[in-house]
Structure 1
Amino acid sequence: MTTKTCWEAVCTVDDLVADCGIAVWTEDGPVAVFYLPHRLPALFAVSHTDPFTGSNVLARGITGDLDGEPVVASPLYKQHFSLRSGVCLEDASVRVRSYPVLLDGDRIRLAVPVRQPAAVAA
C-alpha cells in the first residue's frame, strides 16, 4: 500500500534562521525545519519530537556535521539525528521521520502524508 503525500506550505523563507531550526505544525504533527546555508541542499525537515523523551524540542537542537552528515543534537540528552534520514547516530534502531522539502518561491513546502478518511462499515 502506498502512502499519498501532499506538498504542504509550512512557512516562508523570511521565517528561517541560518544554522537553526524552527518548529512548524503540519497535518502529520510537529516538524522541525532547518536552514543550513553552507550545505546543498540547504533545507531539511525532521519530526520535532525527540523519540527518547516524547518532547517537542528538536527544532531547538544544535545543528552540526558529523563525518559529513548534517545532524541536529537533541537539546535534552544530546543524541544526534541525521537531517537527511532521521536516523539516530548513537542508536541506529531509533529514528525520527524525515520529510522532503521544497522551496516554492518564498514558501517552504513539506511532503507530508495525506490522512485518509476512515472506511465506513456497510
Structure 2
Amino acid sequence: MHNDRQSKQWTAVCRLDQIVPNTGVCALVNGEQIAVFHVLDGEQRVFAIGNYDPNAEAAVLSRGLVGSLGERIVVASPIYKHHFDLQTGECLEAPEHSVSAYPARIGDGQVWIAA
C-alpha cells in the first residue's frame, strides 16, 4: 500500500521552541522560502506555506500576523493585509493569488516540513 507520508521528503527546519508561539519564521527548504508558523491555541501546532506574497510581490508572509477568521487559522500579510489560510495556502481576498501549503509536524522537539 502506498503511503503518501513516506513518499515525501521530511526536513527538520528548527526546534519548536525557536519559534515564538503565534508567530512565523522563514525556512529555506530545497531552495524555496517557506513560512513556518507555530500556533498555540490550546494545543501546539505548526503550519507551512510559501513565504512569497503574490499580491505584494515580496517574500514577507513569515512576518505576518497570525489569527483566525471564523474557523480558519490565517496569517495577514504585513504589506496589503491579505489573509492566507495556514492549512491550505488560500488567499481569502484574492484566491487567484493563493500560495502553496506544505505538510508540517512536530517530532522530537523539532519542526518538520515535507516539501
Q: Which residues of structure 2 form unaligned runs of 5+?
A: 1-6
Give the helix-richer structure, 1 or 2: 2
* 2:39 is equivalent to residue 36 of structure 1: yes
**Which has the greater radius of gyration?**
1
Q: Which residues of structure 1 form unaligned runs of 5+?
A: 113-122
* Aligned-pair CA distance for 1:41: 6.4
Q: 1:14 aligns with which of 9, 13, 17?
A: 17
Q: How does 1:2-81 map to 2 (within 5 A)?
A: 5-38=8-41, 42-81=45-84
Q: Which residue of structure 1 aligns with residue 93 of structure 2?
A: 90
Report the TM-score, using the length of structure 2 for normalisation: 0.87
Partner SS state of residue 42, structure 1: strand
Q: Which residue of structure 1 aligns with residue 4 of structure 2?
A: none
Give the strand-richer structure, 1 or 2: 2
**Distance in 2 between residues matched to 1:42 and 1:14, nearest whole Å:** 12
Report the TM-score, using the length of structure 1 for normalisation: 0.83
Count how many residue pairs are aligned between Structure 1 and Structure 2. 109
**Distance in 2 between residues matched to 1:39 and 1:50, nearest whole Å:** 28
**RMSD value over aligned CA atoms?**
1.5
Please identify, of 66-75 and 9-18, the stretch whose mean Cα deviation from structure 2 is larger: 9-18
* Aligned-pair CA distance for 1:53: 2.5
Query: Identity over aligned residues, as a percent?
Result: 35
Moved over 2 A (4+): none
Partner SS state of residue 14, structure 1: helix
Contact 2:83/2:93 (CA < 8 Å) preserved in 1?
Answer: yes
Contact 2:38/2:44 (CA < 8 Å) preserved in 1?
Answer: no
* Aligned-pair CA distance for 1:68: 1.1
Q: Which amino acid counterpart does residue 88 of structure 1 have in structure 2? A: C
* Aligned-pair CA distance for 1:67: 1.1
Q: Which amino acid counterpart does residue 31 of structure 1 have in structure 2? A: I
* 2:109 is equivalent to residue 106 of structure 1: yes
**Distance in 2 between residues matched to 1:92 and 1:41, nearest whole Å:** 28
